[in-house]
Structure 1
Amino acid sequence: MEIVLYIAALVAAIGFLVLCVSLAMTLTSLKKTLNEVSGTMSGLEGQLQGVTRETTELLHKTNELASDIQSKSEKLNSVVDAVKNVGESVNGLNTSVRRITSSVANEVEKNEEKISQVIQWSNVVLEIRNKWKERKAIDEGRSGYSNFKD
């Protein structure tokens, strides 16, 4: 029975040795994996710092752009107000021109007969003037001819 006890102790020792070897292999593999994870994390940390720096620069540029857009928007608002005022002025001018045109048209219609008479009298006066000039030219021509003849 003593032999059984030695065999059991030997089996237990071999089992413990196998357990220790497999545990050592597992821990070695775990150490290697953890070293790789540590390297990856270091690289990731460096990349994250670069991204953070670029993000900060982008945020500053975005703030500057927003400020620039705000100031240009305020300037554009004043231009839009000025254009609106010009449009209102043009509308007022158009309304005034329409009123004046309508008034002139009404007066022309009311005085159409008088205007027609004025035009006729003007034509008569122009004809009389033309005839007068012709007669004067003829008289000067005759007197010049008689002067030349003498």
Structure 2
Amino acid sequence: MIVILYVSVAVIAVAFLILALSVSRTLRSVDSTLNSVSKMLDGLENQLKGVTQETAELLHKTNELAENIGEKTKELNSVVYAVKGIGSSIETFNQSLKKITTTVGSQLEKNQNKISQAVQWSQVVKQVLDKWKRKEESPAAQTQNNTVSESRGSIERARN
């Protein structure tokens, strides 16, 4: 029986040795895996630092751009207000021009009779001057008498 006991202890010792070796191999494998994961995390951390810096720069540039756009918008607003003022001025000018046109048209209608008389008188004066010029060019006195009588007839027609 003691032999069985020694054999059992020997089997247990061998099993413990095999277990210790297996655990050792597993721990080495886990160690290499953890080292690989650690290196990968270090690389990710460095990349994340780079991304964080780029994100901060991008955010800074975005803020500058937003500020610049705000300034440009304010400047553009003043231009829009100026154009609006010009549009209002042009509209007022157009209204004034319409009023003047309407007034001139109504005055023309009111004075149409006077205008036609003035045109008729100017035609008579022109005829008289033309006849007078012809009279000076032609020595015949008879032509002169005809001119005067025609002028009188034109004046009479204009009065009617």
Note the C-alpha offset of 1:16.
1.4
| Letter aligned with residue 6 of structure 1 | Y
- The number of aligned residues is 139
Question: What residue is the counterpart of 2:21 in the other structure?
Answer: 21
Structure 2 counterparts to residues 1-150 of structure 1, below 5 A:
1-138=1-138
The structure-2 alpha-carbon separation of the partners of 1:118 and 1:25, relative to structure 1 and needing over 3 Å to count, comes to: same
Q: What is the rounded CA distance, in whole Å, between the counterparts of 2:19 and 2:59 in structure 1?
A: 57
Measured after TM superposition, the shift of residue 87 of structure 1 is 0.4
Which is further off, 48-57 or 32-41? Answer: 48-57
RMSD: 1.7
List per-residue Cα deviations over 1:31-71 (Å, max 9, x = no partner): 10111111111211221222222222222222222221111
CA apart distance, 1:77? 0.8
Q: Distance in 2 between matches of 1:9 and 1:138?
A: 170
TM-score by length of 2: 0.77
- Tell me the SS of whatever aligns to 2:92: helix
Q: Which moved more, 1:106-115 or 1:90-99?
A: 106-115
Residue 18 of structure 1: SS of its match in structure 2?
helix
Higher relative contact order (CA 8 A, sep 6+): 2
Given residue 3 of structure 1, which amino acid in structure 2 is its aligned partner? V
How far is the alpha carbon of 1:6 from its aligned partner? 2.6
Find the counterpart in structure 1 of residue 156 from structure 2. Answer: none
Identity of aligned residues (%): 50
Summarize the Cα distance change of 1:137–1:55 in structure 2 as closer, same or farther, 3 Å threshold.
farther
- TM-score of the two chains, using structure 1 as the length reference: 0.82
Give 1:146's aligned residue: none
- Matched residue type, 2:110: K
**Cα distance in 1 between the residues matched to 2:73 and 2:99:** 39
The runs of 5 or more residues in structure 1 that have no matched partner are 140-150
Gaps of 5+ in 2: 140-160
After TM superposition, the structure 1 stretch with the greater mean CA deviation from structure 2, 48-57 or 25-34, is 48-57
SS in 2 for 1:83: helix
1:127 Cα deviation after fit: 2.2
